[in-house]
Amino acid sequence: MPTSMLMPSLSPTMEEGVLAKWLVKEGDFIKPGMMLCSVETDKTTVDYESMDEGFLRKILVPGGTPAKVNQLIAILSDDKDEDISAYLEKAVKKSQEMVASKGGAQPAAVAAPASAGNGSGPASASYAPAPSRAPAAVATAPEPVMHAAAGAEGGRVKASPLARKMADDAGIPIQNVPGSGPNGRIIRRDIENYKPEPVAKAEAKPASGKAPSGPVQRPLYGSLAPIGQTHDIPLNMMRKTIGRRLLESSQGIPNFYVTVKVDMGAVNALRAQLNRAPGYKLSVNDIITKATSFALREFPAVNSSYHGDFIRQNANIDICIAVSIEGGLITPIVRDVDQKGLGLISSEIKQLVAKAKAGKLAPEEYQGGTFTISNLGMYGVDEFTAIINPPQSGILAVGGIQQEVYLDNGVAKQKDVMKLTMTSDHRVVDGALSAQFLSALKSLLENPVWLML
Amino acid sequence: MESTYDIVVIGSGPGGYVAAIKGAQAGKKVALIEKSELGGICLNWGCIPTKALLKSAEVAHYLKHAGDYGLNVKDVTVDYPKIISRSRDVAKQNSNGVQYLMKKNKIEVIQGSAKLVAKGLIEVTDAQGARKNVNAKNIILATGASARSFPQYPIDGTNFITYRHALELKDQPKKMLIIGAGAIGVEFAYYFNTLGTEVHLVEMLPQILPVEDEEISKTLLGSFKKQGINCYVATKVGDVKAVKPGVIEAKLLDASNKETALTVDRVLVAVGMSPNTKDLGLEQVGVKLDERGFIKVDGFQETSVKGIFAIGDVAGKQLLAHKASAEGEVAVARILGTAKHGLEYGQIPGATYCQPQVASIGLTEKACKEKNIAVKIGRFPFSASGKARAIGHTEGMVKLIFGAKFGELVGAHIIGSEATEMLAELGLAMKLESTYEEIMHTVHAHPTLSEAVMEAAMDSQGVSVHI
């Protein structure tokens, strides 16, 4: 009986890959585990391992040709000389239909993570309590990827209810525990006997790998602390999510950075004046948020998100504010910032920050958003770069206000300056656009009275 | 002619015959040596025939209370020899079943008494005194245990009897003293009492069924007293002697040394078992015993001599058929090289088949206290169960003990009409390391007695629906 071989999905985000090279040829007998072909994915080149057995009868996608995920790439059959023509015709038709329908459904599928998880900030990651999301995406991938995911976050871990509770209590990441029960089920005994790999040993590995003959060298920073004081802190859900999304973003997005220096004299003066109004205590960040919304309104191309097949220019200007909280960070959202006055923006941000610190944000208060602002100015930072919170295409990193000496007609004077660094997704925002956007933002901040318009 | 077997099992009880089958299933050449009936005590003189007797007692109990169910039954008389013959027939059928299994699994059954001569060499003497040698790469000792005897209770089969005599008594005793209120004593007390014998049950320890949870034991004691069984706990048997055949005078001494004098026509001695280690040649090959006389084994049932294993009663711990079978599996797995873990002795269920039945697994409340384990206890009385009321068995309860911190099932204790059958799900729960959550969120069919298990789990968290 003939069977179809389809283009595998070798990464969660893969929609298409280039079948770089066939490693077998028509007529070969294929066994499970045999390497069939090399596939270039959106991230890397992977050798695709067969899960089927049979004779490779027909290659439909020659080496060097791109193919969509689940597209028919070859036909196998049990018998070497079996007639496959009828099957071939049907399978090709079915594959075309399937790939076509999958293409149509694509935007929705990609958009899903955006609403479920959003967040960003200094490190641009989100505290999205949706651990099932990543595994769900991976679950459709074939065997090679499944193996990687099983040990990873969210993969099905076989463990007894007691073992789970004990691991939770002890802060042991249960997927790291080797199971000794039936089929590797993790049971009480395994948690009781679990010892995390000692840090010293883990450090020694790469060192000895590089210089197998020489003595194991401890890294410099390690030498400051005696071995006995090192300890391993297991990852909580937030840290895992931060890690995963941060990596996705920094590896998957062609980032570039543009920095401007803004004279903050006018903002400081305006702020002092506004804060004399009873009941108001505006921060510099409130004003920057408002100014950013105006700049985004002027350049809607920056207020956009990348969705693989298309770029979505967002109708609303919903700005995420990165908030550092215990154990991580989260990015609550101020909605329709451009429609709101400074007073309202300020009070909303204060409320959101308080809720975030208390861990009481509702999902709709941190999911979504079209642009992110991360401000480390209060820590005396000059400038920094932030990592984009996908599918957003930009994040603004705000440094602290510093005094700077300048010459005014040969007379030394001082002014307050602040550096803004914008990280952009080059797939959406080109360098000139980013520069124009920042220039507009700089003008708004140097002429903050415009914010009243 | 001498032949070499991969595994030779000595003793065909529930430990031995199961080990033999497991070995044969794995393709090993196996022989089973038995000096008496296949199936050992369990099938022939223990678990199975006593359950047959107890069923007769239960039927008698129902007939006695037939009026409660709206049925008038008159002139119920006991045909004692028939009760015994039914029990013997049941035992015979089971023994034949083992015979069939041996044949099916191509296990050679060798009739005779076995003696270890050297490591790997066994001498078998048959009933006629003929001897032959059997060579074995591995030997599994599964010789079981026998009723312990005491000089003050001279077992003669008429005045002083053991469980074994009780199983084939020709006549029903009129007044009986049962010494020892372990599972055997308690089951026979219920059996004889229900059939109309006046029963006096004496236990030296402070509770009947001393291994069971105190609260459960007290419930049973109350029930036994209601049934008319004379129970004496924390009581010693003083002078006891047969003044003439069928007339035995006994003195009982309670904790405050108060004396009770009894005259009975039969004394059933049910005070423990001792391992069958004699005449096995253990010393000769160097198999060591522990201080209580049981064969010393490691976690995988291997004795002090490599290649010689011991399982079941002869290897000590709980003297239970199912524990013997489980150890048989461990020993064979060890021989095959597939054993990963030995038996978990904290997870061996216990069952006593009086009415109400008593069944348990894991730790008692008292043991938890002694081990300093913080627990949460849930109870559900059958009096609150609709099914129990419908079938007229509202006595008893389910008592579940969970670890306070993680909620794992630490102990399960049931007393009630179907307690022994109800225990299985709790054994599984314990094996799978379930917590109260899995038990209380498992939907139980309504109406069943097992709903009480779910309710007890809920009660441990203070959220029982029906109490």
Distance separating alpha carbons of residues A368 and B368, to the nearest angstrom: 52
Q: Are residues B421 and B386 in the same domain?
A: yes
Task: Give the catalytic positions of B in this structure.
Answer: 446
Looking at the fold, whether B142 and B278 belong to one and the same domain comes out as yes
User: Does residue A258 fall inside a structural domain?
Assistant: yes
Chain B within 8 Å of A188 (Cβ-Cβ)? Answer: yes
**Within-domain flag for A148:** no
Encoded tokens for B142: 């599964």
Query: Which residues in chain B are closer than 8 Å to A161, comparing Cβ atoms?
Result: 408, 432-435, 437-438
Per-residue confidence (pLDDT) for residue B84, from 0 to 100: 96
- Kindly provide the residue ranges of all beta strands, DSSP E only, lying in B230-278, ordered along the sequence: 230-232, 236-244, 247-253, 259-264, 266-269, 273-275
- Percent of chain B that is helix, strand, coil (3-state, to 5): 35, 25, 40
- Does the N-terminal peptide bond of residue B356 adopt cis geometry, omega within 30 degrees of 0? yes
Number of domains in chain B: 3
Chain B residue nearest residue A189, CA to CA: B433
A-chain CB neighbours of B434 within 8 Å are 160-162
A249-262 core/surface letters (b: 16 or more CB in 10 A; e: else):
beebbebeebebeb
Q: A93: domain CATH number?
A: 2.40.50.100
pLDDT for the residue numbered B342: 93
Hey, is the C-beta of A408 within 8 angstroms of any chain B C-beta? no
Whether residues A169 and B408 touch (CB distance < 8 A) is answered with no
Which of B408, B430, B433 to probe by mutation at the A interface, max A CB count within 10 Å? Answer: B433
Please give, rounded to a whole number of angstroms, the shortest distance from the CA of A231 to a CA of chain B.
25
Query: Within an 8 Å CB–CB cutoff, is residue A192 touching chain B?
Result: no
To the nearest whole Å, the CA of A189 is away from the closest chain B CA by: 11
Domain carrying residue B391: 356-460
Asked, for residue B350, whether it belongs to a domain, the answer is no
Q: Parallel, antiparallel, or unpaired: how do β-strands B198-202 and B230-232 relate? A: parallel
**B30 plus B134 within the same structural domain:** yes
Chain-chain contact of B406 with A169 (C-beta, under 8 angstroms): yes
Asked whether residue B8 is assigned to any structural domain, the reply reads yes
ipTM rounded to 2 decimals: 0.79
The widest CA-to-CA distance across chain B, in whole angstroms, is 70
Strand partners, B359: B351, B414
Residues of chain A contacting B435 with CB distance shorter than 8 Å: 161-162, 165
* Domain identity same for A37 and A86: yes
Average pLDDT, chain B: 96
What pLDDT tens digit does each residue of chain A (453 aa) get? Answer: 788 888 877 765 667 778 888 888 888 888 887 888 888 765 566 778 887 888 888 888 888 888 888 888 888 888 888 888 888 888 888 777 766 665 433 333 333 333 333 333 333 333 333 333 333 333 333 333 233 333 333 457 899 999 999 998 888 888 888 888 888 899 999 999 888 765 443 333 443 334 444 444 444 444 444 455 677 777 777 787 788 888 888 888 999 999 999 999 999 999 999 999 888 889 999 999 999 999 999 999 999 999 888 899 999 999 999 999 887 888 999 999 999 999 999 999 999 999 888 888 887 888 889 999 999 998 889 999 999 998 899 999 999 999 999 999 999 999 999 999 999 999 999 999 999 999 999 999 999 999 988
Within this chain, do residues B46 and B142 fall inside the same structural domain, yes or no? yes
Q: Which residue has the tokens 């419908």?
A: B390
Q: Are residues A22 and A49 in the same domain?
A: yes
- Give dist(CA B183, CA B211) in Å, integer: 9
Domain boundary among A66, A87, A115: A115
Is A162 close to B433, i.e. CB distance below 8 A? yes
The half-sphere exposure of B120 on its side-chain side, counting CA atoms within 13 A, is 8
Positions of A marked active-site: 426
Domain shared by B209 and B312, yes or no:
no
DSSP letter at A304? Answer: E
- Six-digit token string for A297: 């309104």
DSSP lists the bridge partners of residue B134 as B122
Q: Does residue B467 sit within a domain?
A: no
Number of domains making up chain A: 3
Percentage of chain B exceeding pLDDT 90: 96
Which residues fall within 8 angstroms of residue B144, CB to CB, at 6 or more apart?
B11, B13, B15, B40, B41, B275, B276, B312, B313, B314, B324
Asked if A190 contacts A177 with a C-beta cutoff of 8 angstroms, the reply is: yes
Q: Which of A162, A180, A187 sits opposite B406 (nearest CB)?
A: A162
Q: Which residues of B touch A169 (CB under 8 A)?
A: 405-406
Range of the domain at A13: 2-115
Whether residue B141 is predicted with pLDDT greater than 80 in this model: the reply is yes
Give residue A7's pLDDT: 83
Among A403, A361, A428, residue whose Cα is nearest residue A118 = A361
Indicate which of A158, A160, A190 best probes the interface with B, i.e. most B CBs within 10 Å of its own CB: A160
DSSP B289: B
With a CB-CB cutoff of 8 Å, which residues 25-84 of chain A face chain B?
none
Interchain CB contacts (distance < 8 Å): A and B: 29
- Please tell me the total number of residues recorded for chain A in this structure: 453
3-state DSSP: chain A helix, strand, coil percent, rounded to 5? 40, 25, 40
Picking from B345, B367, B402, the residue at the C-terminal end of a domain is B345
Find the CATH number of the domain harbouring B312. Answer: 3.50.50.60
Q: Can you tell me which residue has the tokens 């399960």?
A: B412
**Same domain, yes or no: A294 and A390:** yes
Does residue A346 form part of some domain?
Answer: yes
Chain A hits for B341, Cβ within 8 Å: 180
- For B359-380, write each residue's pLDDT tens digit: 999 999 999 999 999 999 999 9
Give the DSSP H/E element, type plus range, for residue B56. helix B47-64
Task: Tell me which residues of chain A, numbers 367 to 386, contact chain B at a CB-CB cutoff of 8 Å.
Answer: none
Residues 157 through 176 of chain A touching chain B, CB cutoff 8 Å: 160-163, 165-166, 169
Q: Which of A160, A169, A180 sits opposite B433 (nearest CB)?
A: A160
Q: Which of A33, A36, A34, A104 is nearest to A68 (CA)?
A: A104
Looking at the predicted structure, is the pLDDT value of residue B2 above 90? no
What residues of chain B lie within 8 A of the CB of A166, using their CB? Answer: 406
pLDDT of residue A41: 65
Asked if residue A251 lies in contact with residue A41, where contact means CB atoms within 8 angstroms, the answer is: no
The encoded tokens of residue B193 equal: 């009492």
Chain B residues within 8 A of A182 when measuring between CB atoms? none
Which residue among B213, B239, B271 closes a domain? Answer: B271
- Give the C-alpha separation, B436 to B458, whole Å: 7
Q: What is the pLDDT of residue A113?
A: 35
Q: Tell which of B209, B239, B271 closes a domain.
A: B271
B437-442 mean pLDDT:
95
A187 closest CB neighbour out of B406, B433, B437? B433
Name which of B316, B311, B348 is nearest B331 in CA terms: B311
Would the CB atoms of B408 and A163 count as touching at under 8 Å? no
By Cβ distance, the residue of A163, A165, A187 closest to B407 is A165
3-class DSSP assignment, residue B74: coil
